[in-house]
Amino acid sequence: MRPKELSRYLADLGWRDPLALPAERSIAASASVKKPIFESVDLETLAESLRDCARCRLSEGRKTVVFGEGAPDARVMFIGEGPGAEEDRTGRPFVGQAGHLLDRMVVAMGLKRVQTYIANVVKCRPPGNRDPKDDEIAACSVFLDRQIELIRPAVIVALGRFAANRLTGTDKPLGALRGRWSHYKGVPLLATYHPAYLLRTPADKRKVWADLKLVMAKLAE
């Protein structure tokens, strides 16, 4: 399916103005349209279809949609919360201070950033870096799901509470979720602290390193 066809399909479903829809209807719409429209959509088409996305209020303040980047056949997929100022400016995920720390974490795992895939639960910057809201996460959810289906990583690492809650389908605190394996769409999923949190709380770096060692062991299986 071409980007234009996809946009038309979504427009027909009322996705152009989701703020006019109650959040529940957006979520129901995303669940019901997912199969027919997304089965034939590849990463490039998906990214293209989001370029002018206005499916939630985050589109009003963003400069750039930060779709995600990395190797299409990555074995590790990192999923963070949402773009910050630097990401919004450049259109690339995790390129600010938290991103530099993520880069170091990736290197410590014996990998290069380009061997991984990096995405976020919301693809547009929340104003003032506020937390993303439930309906904003829901508006992006089919797109993240399709990214995961296309990359089919061996492991997903959820960075921080928003990614962990979104992917585990719980609202448990990160302390209760991190360091334990679960699955998302059949892919082993491990949650750990967000690099931005680590910049504020460096003492927890050792917990993240313990989590990343679990990921490395899983990749070596």
CB nearer to ligand URA: give 138 or 158: 158
Cα 206 to Cα 17: distance, rounded to the nearest angstrom: 44
Residue 132 binds to ligand URA (criterion: CB under 6 A): no
84 belongs to the binding site for ligand URA (CB under 6 A): yes
Q: How far apart (Å, rounded) are the C-alpha atoms in residues 34 and 145?
A: 9
- Which range, of 1-9, 10-18, 95-103, 209-217, touches ligand URA by CB under 6 A? 95-103
Closest-approach residue to ligand URA (CB): 80
Among the listed residues 18, 70, 93, 153, the single contact to ligand URA using CB under 6 A: 93
Q: Which is nearer to ligand URA, 98 or 164 (CB)?
A: 98
Minimum gap (Å) between residue 197 Cβ and ligand URA: 10
Are 127 and 61 contacting, i.e. CB atoms less than 8 angstroms apart?
yes
Considering the rule CB under 6 A, would residue 80 count as an interface residue with ligand URA?
Answer: yes
Determine, following the binding rule CB under 6 A, whether residue 87 of this chain makes contact with ligand URA. Answer: yes
Phi, psi dihedral angles at 93 (to 5 degrees): -75, 145
Q: Which H, E and C letters describe 64-99, residue by residue?
A: CCCCCEECCCCCEEEEECCCCHHHHHHCCCCCCHHH
Residue 211 as a binder of ligand URA (CB under 6 A): the answer is: no
Least Å distance, CB 118 to ligand URA, is 7
Which stretches does DSSP call E strand in the chain?
69-70, 76-80, 117-120, 155-159, 181-184, 187-192
Q: How far is the CB of 33 from ligand URA (least distance, A)?
A: 26
Dihedral over Cα of 197, 202, 204, 210: its sign: positive
Least separation in angstroms between residue 129's CB and ligand URA is: 8
Shortest separation between residue 80's beta carbon and ligand URA, angstroms? 3
SS3 117: strand
Q: Which residues pair with 90 in a beta bridge?
A: none
**Residues in the site for ligand URA, rule: CB under 6 A?**
80-84, 87, 93-94, 96, 98-99, 120, 196
